[in-house]
Amino acid sequence: MKAVILKDFGGVSNLQVTEFTKPIIVKGQVLVKISALSVNPIDIKTREGKGVADYITERPVILGWDISGIVEESSSPDFEKGDEVFGMNNYPGHGKAYAAYVAAEANQLSLKPGPISHEQSAGACLAALTAWQNLTTHHHIKKGDRVLIHGGSGGVGHFAIQIAKVLGAYVITTSSFENRKFVLGLGADEHIDYKAVHFEDELRNMDFVLNTQNEFIAERSLFVVSAGGTIISIGSEVSEELKDKATSLGLNIFRTRVRSSGSDMRKIAEMLEDRSLKVHIDSIFALDEIVRAHEKLSGGKTVGKIVLIP
Ligand SMILES: NC(=O)c1ccc[n+]([C@@H]2O[C@H](COP(=O)([O-])OP(=O)(O)OC[C@H]3O[C@@H](n4cnc5c(N)ncnc54)[C@H](OP(=O)(O)O)[C@@H]3O)[C@@H](O)[C@H]2O)c1
């Protein structure tokens, strides 16, 4: 089968499209013939030997976690041959998604909603789970909460806006001016152009901030949250010094990491099905064009998701 192996941690030239042995499933797994997959910034960090590289001991490394496809063989009572499924396989671990076939953990998948294309459902895995888990599990958004989402036009941000609205929040989001219409179209109540103004000069009384950006933005977010409020930072570490600053202001700040979960994927599937959650696809590449996909994502200007077709 076709696969992309990572010859060594490092630059894009280490991504090699090759013929590789089709995986063999074990109990609890299904063999998925991949129709579409998607890339995330963690793929790039891990390719460089950072990210979740330490979790992957087997060689060769096959990057990627987000898959959508058709079950070809099942060793799980949950799915049978022919089922259309999607999910984030084995994160944080060896996802092996950059391939024509993936041996996927059945309990980390959901049935794909019929009317949703594989391209769209592949886009709604890691990024959608991250938004869902942070807004409903690590923190519980309540109706009427004032929520700030940094980077509302990105993979995670565009799902987080929509999910926060489903949960009844008042949503303010940052992006460049070019993406203002896009984020307001997703349901955001207010937009802040991060290039034109400092958000901390404009905002007060936020209950919750989802920081998809760096630690400097996490620190600046301290100024906009009410006492008792929470900042979750997913894009960077939260230093002890920053935690101390937050504590002295009566705020909570912490970092989270998304986890594979079949039950959370089923929630995503429900929202895709009832159209309360939509996937915006920035671009679609062939798996052969993996280098171009990594280079585009590294540019930091992706709107929604980049999808690959094997
Ligand atoms: N901890 C976890 O579990 C977890 C899970 C998922 C993702 N992450 C991390 O979260 C980060 C975001 O992931 P992603 O998939 O959303 O990335 P992404 O899709 O690559 O994000 C791109 C978006 O970021 C926006 N952006 C760039 N600079 C910005 C700034 N200063 N303020 C506001 N928006 C800005 C861009 O908007 P403009 O084009 O309008 O500038 C662009 O739309 C990455 O570092 C990723 O590794 C962590």
> What local confidence, expressed as pLDDT, does residue 304 receive?
98
| Mean pLDDT calculated for residue range 45-69 | 98
| Mean pLDDT calculated for residue range 67-79 | 98
3-state secondary structure of 62: coil
83: confidence class by pLDDT, cuts 50, 70, 90: very high
- Structurally, at CATH architecture level, domain 127-255 sits in 3-Layer(aba) Sandwich (3.40)
Q: Are 147 and 232 in contact (CB under 8 A)?
A: no
Please state, for a pLDDT cut of 70, what percent of the chain lies above it.
100
Phi, then psi, of 66 in degrees rounded to 5? -90, 120
> What local confidence, expressed as pLDDT, does residue 65 receive?
99
Sheet containing strand 225-233, edge to edge, reads 190-193, 170-175, 146-149, 206-211, 225-233, 252-255
Q: What is the pLDDT of residues 234-244, one digit of tens each?
A: 999 999 999 99
CA of 158, closest atom in ligand 1: 16
Distance 153 CA to ligand 1 centre (A): 8
> What local confidence, expressed as pLDDT, does residue 157 receive?
98
6: confidence class by pLDDT, cuts 50, 70, 90: very high
Q: Is 174 in the pocket of ligand 1 (CB under 6 A)?
A: yes
99: confidence class by pLDDT, cuts 50, 70, 90: very high
Q: Is 41 in the pocket of ligand 1 (CB under 6 A)?
A: yes
Q: Which fold has domain 2-124+279-309?
A: Quinone Oxidoreductase; Chain A, domain 1 (3.90.180)
CA of 217, closest atom in ligand 1: 31
Report field, pTM of the whole predicted structure over 0.85:
yes
Q: Are strands 190-193 and 252-255 parallel, antiparallel or unpaired?
A: unpaired
Q: What is the pLDDT of residues 126-155, one digit of tens each?
A: 999 999 999 999 999 999 999 999 999 999
Q: Are 3 and 18 in contact (CB under 8 A)?
A: yes
257: confidence class by pLDDT, cuts 50, 70, 90: very high
> What local confidence, expressed as pLDDT, does residue 218 receive?
98
Other C-beta atoms within 10 Å of 181: how many? 10
Q: Is 301 in the pocket of ligand 1 (CB under 6 A)?
A: yes
Distance, in Å, from the CA atom of 218 to the CA atom of 29, rounded to the nearest integer, reads 39
Distance 74 CA to ligand 1 centre (A): 35
Q: Is 90 in the pocket of ligand 1 (CB under 6 A)?
A: no
Q: Are 181 and 205 in contact (CB under 8 A)?
A: no
Q: What is the pLDDT of residues 175-212, one digit of tens each?
A: 999 999 999 999 999 999 999 999 999 999 999 999 99
> Where are the chain's structural domains?
2-124+279-309, 127-255
